[in-house]
């Protein structure tokens, strides 16, 4: 039986401060929300909800990734692999993966989850490639199953395929096999294997209820999840939310000031930087790239763009401190390149430019100028581009800024129709970050589409290292290769790293504790994709003044 849980009043308490016209807004838990229920700002209505729990559909409700589970849970902070529906795995060689399925897992209707469901999911993705959003079948050749194992043969030596395959969400064959087109099916009454199943659904709010038969039910201390459609910034501050994922300006004086139990944690999730088109002169010249790097203060760019919440990014290409254990010790200052205007001008002059005291000029005497492309509406990226523009004036460069709509921005980068762009790269999987950005296999000349290596970078040494990594299952060898890739990223400057993009987690520890933090970074506070699965196994209700 589904339990109906509806959000009541706003639990808003606002008071005017005596000084000036400032308004301090406070919030407290909504009394209609039970002590066993998490109120989550994790799925924004547009402005209302449409029932769609197809986990492969771009328009699916965010909670679909809690209803369905992956074979392997992957920490978006550092790429750590955690056994999930697959209790173990091995890679006997770079072209083979063998996963052992966890016993005792069931679907929400009580049907056992078997290797047949895994086999069906693979076949369904192959037959309906629109659902293969992770590109599984771009790497897989064959899949064979026994009662307990799934043996995957890859198209080529490709050891990094494991996390791609492991992240695949598994769906029940006994339900999905009867669906005419799984790529368009909205799956309004989902049956998954996750810790929560769909409860009540309305256009303004939906709920998920704890699944008593969950394979790790003893780790779930939350009975109900409530997802309201109204989750704008004012809603977050006033309605007593327990958990939200949102960039909030001036978080100390908004979210933190609203409730003494409100907390935030913004770990790095990617590198924001200048993406240079290496097929467009003069950005194919290392001295030009070095000049740009030395002309910029990434810390200051981050201060302006992200209001001081995020650190300057390492030119190693790693997310620090998340991936500190991977850092090549030969890279100075943890990959931070200090601004040095004189050294920047010297690098440009080595590339044939001239500096007349105020203006940097090309070899033919023209002022050096170029456009920085950033997507319209990405306000933090726009602030970053404006700060880059300001800093470049310090070495005599007058850059302009172009702001196409997001779809046009993506199209321009895909086709190579740009010179310099604000962009995001790298991430929790260090190797995949280098591969996606730099591998020559993904190269396409300007005018041809490429979803990866959109900077049109070519480097034979990088290609060899990527090939060696893919052909190895030796962790020590892979670590050595990663350190070589880091050094090339630092020395050759394929992109100019500026600051880290944040994972914007907000939470309240008044009713629930055990949230991830810098001290215990077991997961980010993302309310989407599979991150909540791990968080929901760790949070605990506060009982009698303390956690249970």
- The domains found in the chain, sorted by start residue, are 12-66+194-266+504-547 (3.40.190.10), 69-176 (3.90.76.10), 270-501 (3.10.105.10)
CB 289 within 8 A of CB 496: yes
Pairing of strands 243-245, 371-373: unpaired
**275 CB contacts (<8 Å, ≥6 apart)?**
413, 418, 420, 421, 422, 423, 425, 454, 455, 495
Residue 106 burial (CB < 10 Å; 0-12/13-18/19+)? middle
- The 540-543 sheet, strands edge to edge: 512-513, 540-543, 546-547
What's the pLDDT at 47? 87
Nearest-angstrom CA–CA distance, 353 and 191? 64
For the chain, 548 residues long, the average pLDDT of each consecutive 10-residue run is: 34 34 60 90 90 96 97 96 98 98 98 98 97 96 98 97 97 98 97 98 97 98 96 88 92 94 96 98 98 98 96 97 96 98 98 97 97 96 98 98 97 97 95 97 96 97 98 97 98 98 96 97 96 98 72
- Torsion angle in degrees (nearest 10) through CA of 107, 110, 115, 116: -100
- The candidate with the shortest Cα–Cα distance to 504, out of 24, 27, 42, 11, is 42
Nearest-angstrom CA–CA distance, 392 and 388? 6
What's the pLDDT at 3? 31
What's the pLDDT at 28? 66
Distances (CA, A) of 420 to 29, 93, 281, 289, 456: 47, 40, 11, 11, 12
What's the pLDDT at 25? 67
Nearest-angstrom CA–CA distance, 243 and 241? 6
Nearest-angstrom CA–CA distance, 301 and 381? 10
């Amino acid at each position: 039986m589904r339990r109906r849980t509806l959000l009541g009043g706003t639990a808003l308490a606002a008071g005017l401060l005596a000084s000036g016209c400032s308004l301090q807004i406070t919030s407290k838990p909504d009394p209609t929300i039970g002590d066993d229920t998490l109120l989550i700002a994790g799925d924004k209505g547009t402005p209302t909800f449409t029932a769609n729990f197809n986990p492969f559909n771009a328009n699916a409700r965010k909670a679909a990734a809690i209803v369905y589970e992956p074979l392997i849970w992957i920490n978006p902070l550092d790429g750590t692999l955690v056994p999930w529906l697959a209790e173990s795995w091995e890679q006997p060689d770079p072209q083979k993966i063998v996963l052992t399925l966890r016993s005792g897992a069931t679907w929400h209707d009580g049907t056992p989850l078997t290797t047949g469901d895994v086999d069906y999911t693979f076949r369904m993705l192959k037959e309906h490639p629109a659902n293969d959003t992770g590109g599984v079948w771009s790497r897989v050749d064959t899949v064979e199953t026994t009662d307990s194992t799934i043996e995957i043969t890859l198209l080529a030596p490709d050891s990094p395929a494991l996390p791609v395959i492991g992240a695949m969400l598994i769906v029940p064959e006994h339900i999905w096999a009867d669906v005419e087109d799984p790529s368009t099916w909205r799956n309004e009454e989902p049956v998954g294997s996750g810790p929560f199943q769909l409860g009540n659904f309305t256009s303004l709010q939906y709920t998920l209820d704890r699944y008593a038969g969950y394979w790790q039910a003893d780790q779930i201390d939350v009975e109900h999840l409530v997802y309201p459609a109204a989750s704008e910034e004012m809603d977050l501050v006033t309605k007593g939310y327990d958990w939200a994922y949102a960039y909030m300006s001036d978080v100390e004086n908004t979210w933190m000031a609203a409730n003494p139990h409100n907390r935030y944690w913004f770990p790095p999730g990617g590198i924001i930087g200048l993406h240079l088109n290496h097929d467009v002169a003069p950005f194919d010249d290392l001295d030009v790239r070095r000049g740009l790097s030395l002309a910029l203060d990434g810390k200051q760019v981050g201060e302006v763009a992200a209001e001081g919440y995020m650190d300057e990014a390492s030119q190693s290409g790693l997310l620090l401190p998340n991936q500190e254990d991977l850092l090549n010790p030969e890279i100075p200052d943890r990959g931070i390149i200090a601004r040095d205007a004189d050294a920047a001008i010297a690098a440009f002059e080595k590339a044939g430019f001239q500096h007349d005291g105020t203006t940097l000029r090309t070899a033919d005497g023209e002022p050096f100028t170029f456009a920085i492309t950033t997507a319209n509406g990405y306000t933090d990226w726009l602030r970053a581009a404006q700060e880059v523009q300001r800093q470049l004036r310090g070495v005599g460069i007058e850059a302009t800024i172009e702001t196409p709509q997001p779809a046009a921005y993506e199209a321009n980068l895909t086709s190579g129709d740009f010179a310099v762009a604000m962009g995001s790269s790298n991430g929790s999987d260090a190797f995949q970050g280098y591969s996606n950005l730099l591998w020559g296999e993904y190269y396409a000349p300007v005018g041809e589409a490429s979803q990866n290596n959109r900077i049109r970078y070519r480097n034979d040494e990088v290609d060899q290292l990527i090939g060696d990594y893919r052909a190895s299952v030796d962790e020590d060898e892979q670590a050595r290769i990663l350190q070589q890739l880091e050094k090339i990223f630092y020395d050759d400057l394929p992109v100019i790293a500026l600051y880290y993009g944040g994972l914007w987690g907000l939470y309240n520890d008044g009713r629930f504790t055990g949230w991830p933090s810098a001290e215990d970074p077991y997961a980010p506070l993302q309310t989407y994709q599979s991150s909540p699965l791990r968080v929901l196994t760790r949070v605990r209700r506060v009982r009698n003044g303390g956690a249970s």
